[in-house]
Copies of this chain bind each other. A is one copy, B any other.
């Protein structure tokens, strides 16, 4: 029997190759979305991410093809990449070579102030590019792996920010002014890292392919804020992080 694809919900999913966005893709597949993965290369130092982005998307494309081998279109479309040179504006340890990535901090130290790894307006910029892509392909939703729990120092990871963005998206787009607003989905917003990992493990997220480290080596450094939170998350989730550490 042929599947009815006429009402398929199209979802642009912001994809970074990291643990959160890779879980997001899995959750969007779980909800039956047709996925349009979008990665924004913004000049981050950890270009090791780029390999993970590609590996994760290829994994999901292969997997969903295997689930539905009957000639339907794949639920996961090829990765779309957009380059933007945020190094030009600087201001973050992730894009500015003159600012060092902090190491060896515990969670209380991380939450003391806006982290040096905060990329100014990063989520605003990434959502805006996703909005442009969503308009072109007539997508219904944008999914973002923003999280407000482990890393409360980023202003653009808060629920009120995402709600304001959804309002903006309605006013900014042709489909919005025609009364058919686009939704912003942030399913990880209020989950701890451990909860995200438990959820991901239950739906087969390929964490072995993901990359979280802020330092761009071949193995994860284990001491930057991102590695620290990831390792703690796996520990609390009672499972082992499948990637290699230095």
Contact = CB atoms under 8 A, between A and B. Distances in A.
A168 B173 contact: no
Give the number of copies in the complex: 2
B125 A132 contact: yes
What does DSSP make chain A's interface, helix, strand, loop or mixed? helix
Contacts of A164: 164, 167-168, 171-172
Contacts of A91: 132, 135-136
Contacts of A123: 172
Contact of A161 (B83, B136, B165, B171): B171
Contacts of A132: 86, 89, 91, 119-122, 124-125
Contact of A131 (B118, B120, B131, B173): B120
Interface in A101-135: 114, 118-125, 127-129, 131-133, 135
A118 B135 CA distance: 11
Interface string A35-51: 00000000000000000
Interface residues of A, number: 43
Given A155-B171, A172-B156, A90 B136 contact: yes
A174 B155 contact: yes
Contact of A125 (B129, B160, B176): B129
Interface in A165-222: 165, 167-168, 171-174, 176-177
Given A82-B86, A89-B80, A155 B168 contact: no
A85 interface: yes
A88 interface: yes
